[in-house]
Structure 1
Amino acid sequence: MNDVYYEDLDRGITMIDAQLFRQGQVSTYLIVEDGRAAFVETGTAHSVPALLWVLERKGVPREHVDFVIPTHVHLDHAGGAGALLRQLPNARLVIHPRGARHMIDPAKLNAGAAAVYGEGEMNRLFGQVVPVPAERVIEAADGDEVDLNGRRLRFLDTPGHARHHFCVVDETGDGIFTGDTFGLSYRWFDTGRGPFVLPTTTPVQFDPEALHASVGRLVAQGLNYMYLTHYSRVGDLHRLQRDLHELIDRYVEMARAHADAGPSRHQRLCDDMMQMLLVRLRDHGCTLPEARIRELLGPDVDLNVQGLEVWLDSGA
């Protein structure tokens, strides 16, 4: 599988590209601790062969994988969990208590993704979510821990992006696996000033106050890295935290400004969000052509706006 991209990040952590959308967009992680292993995030059912290939490259037998840990049940994070567990005879799924039932019976996940993407596109992108046997599921509430061969993984309940979202504190890795809570930071936009970050408000559970609190709680753990699903590891956390807080507020202001725009609301919000991000990227020192930036950010802007509209329509 020469097309699989992965990167060893030290501290026993390997980032594996999930091969979803385009390379550089969705990360999964393999943690290895003295011969035992865990996956954090799974990508989709289509990602599973790449994860197993890297596991083999690392010399870890499949029966030595103890845990599969999606941060939440959105399909780019957990869509491959059931299919992956079928290949890992001793692994258990660790999931937020609000997400467990959707992993055991994924009918609503499949239907929800089909509603957003259309059934044909959903199958092309994600495949079908495979059920996870209930006896292989561990529900991890706030403060719970699992032991990976002496390496402690601790779970923080982090709503704001989704109510079924936790983050995984790994002190051995000097960081936290953040799913979508600490936003999106694609390596395409790195400059001499460091990484560029933006919040993700993908449908359907955006809660700005909860997201502000969750971002602050992550940084307050006092570690040096965030292991993002979108994409890979970042530092400079206090600056990124400030940027996220500012942009969450900007998103809210923008949504409220267009709340009564009628049929044109979605397009107006997309145009304003894209323009704001273009300006911020130029200020950050990004020299990519505008057309390329629009290509790279367009899908995220559209999904972010969909999430803001759901939030507005819920009575925000």
Structure 2
Amino acid sequence: MESIRSRTGVEVEVMDLHFQGKAGLIASYLIRHEHGAMIIESGPGSTVAALELELRKRGLAPHDVTHVLISHIHLDHAGAAGHLASYGAQIYVHPNGARHLAEPDKLLQSAARIYGEENMGPLWGEFKAVPEKQITTLDDGDEIAVGGVGVIALDTPGHAEHHLCYLLDDICFTGDVGGVRLQGSSTVIPPMPPPEFIPERWLKSLRHIEDQQPEYLAPTHYGIFLDPAEHLAELREGIDAAVSWADSEVSKADSVEELQENYSNWLYEWALERNLDKRDWPGHELINPSWMSALGLRRYWKKKNGK
């Protein structure tokens, strides 16, 4: 689905950022207003050219983007925020993520420890700092209103403590707390990177989303889905299954590498049982690598068990 209209007639356009040259992995959502356009999720610095191409295809340029709403500051969601800020856009983010946009060194160092320094450029490109005057923080229930369009922020931790969802009428943009689901699939896989994966808070955030009674969900990975109740139920089952696996298996692994391999094998088989098309697995691994979620599960398990 390339576009949809909200209950009040506001059009949302899906811009595919073609992460690593692959379609259908990272979406940036375009919402036009009377004075230009806002986007939800900038995508990474490595897809700036694709973002600008998608804007041009719609008769827009970077300087037409007035508002950039970021779900959280992980590089695949916020990496190009500084690039858009250089054209004048105001960047909206959770209070816990704001300092990392203004001073991204610590964020980049943390990502490099996970992905490897040699992979940072090819995967994520340049992360430009955002001037502090162009950062606006949002709390739960805050509204961004511009040019006849109003979007409400929802505080939704669990994947990360600095996570927001955004509600436009009956459409909820769910970032990563809405899980990863590729187009044409019913399988929803939770991304659980360290250090802030907290399933208890995540499940509470899913209830917060459900309380808004959205008709449509728009996760960043990827696209618009018309079955929010089924989607969130599937995601909840995935979180519970992963935590149960960790409770049983983390202590048995002799090394981190063995744990990662075991989790990847388990997740693949679990996903197939949940009707995942085998052809979709490489896409999931590219945007939501199971080896990284294994690290998040391990960190959570160790903290829970006082290890």
TM-score (norm 2): 0.90
1:180 aligns to what?
Answer: 176
1:225 aligns to what?
Answer: 216
Contact 1:37 / 1:148 at 8 angstroms: preserved in 2?
no
Contact 1:147 / 1:153 at 8 angstroms: preserved in 2?
yes
> How far off its partner does 1:201 sit?
1.0
How far apart are the structure 2 equivalents of 1:70 and 1:128? 17
Give the aligned CA root-mean-square deviation in angstroms. Answer: 1.8
Letter aligned with residue 283 of structure 2:
L
How far apart are the structure 2 equivalents of 1:294 and 1:182? 18
1:109 aligns to what?
Answer: 107
Contact 2:192 / 2:292 at 8 angstroms: preserved in 1?
yes
Letter aligned with residue 175 of structure 1:
I
Contact 2:144 / 2:151 at 8 angstroms: preserved in 1?
yes
Larger relative contact order (Cα-Cα within 8 Å, sequence gap ≥ 6): 2
Contact 2:260 / 2:290 at 8 angstroms: preserved in 1?
no
Counterpart of 2:292 in 1: which secondary structure? helix
How far apart are the structure 1 equivalents of 2:63 and 2:83? 15
Cα deviation digits, residues 257-316 of structure 1 (max 9, x gap): 0121232323222222221111111xxxx5x4x4x3543344432222221112123335
* Aligned residue runs from structure 1 range 233-248, under 5 A: 233-248=224-239
Counterpart of 2:266 in 1: which secondary structure? helix
* Aligned residue runs from structure 1 range 121-200, under 5 A: 121-171=119-169, 174-187=170-183, 189-190=184-185, 195-200=186-191
1:302 aligns to what?
Answer: 291
> How far off its partner does 1:241 sit?
1.7
Structure 1 unaligned runs (5+)? Answer: 1-5
Contact 1:216 / 1:241 at 8 angstroms: preserved in 2?
no
Q: 1:273 and 1:196, CA in 2 relative to 1: closer, same or farther beyond 3 A? A: closer
Structure 2 unaligned runs (5+)? Answer: none
> How far off its partner does 1:35 sit?
4.7
TM-score (norm 1): 0.88
How far apart are the structure 2 equivalents of 1:34 and 1:150? 7
Letter aligned with residue 16 of structure 2:
D
Counterpart of 2:261 in 1: which secondary structure? helix
How far apart are the structure 1 equivalents of 2:156 and 2:217? 14
Q: 1:36 and 1:311, CA in 2 relative to 1: closer, same or farther beyond 3 A? A: same
Letter aligned with residue 13 of structure 1:
V
Letter aligned with residue 272 of structure 1:
W
Letter aligned with residue 255 of structure 1:
A
Cα deviation digits, residues 54-105 of structure 1 (max 9, x gap): 323323454442211110000000011101221x22x211010000000000
1:273 aligns to what?
Answer: 267
Task: Tell me the matched-pair count.
Answer: 295
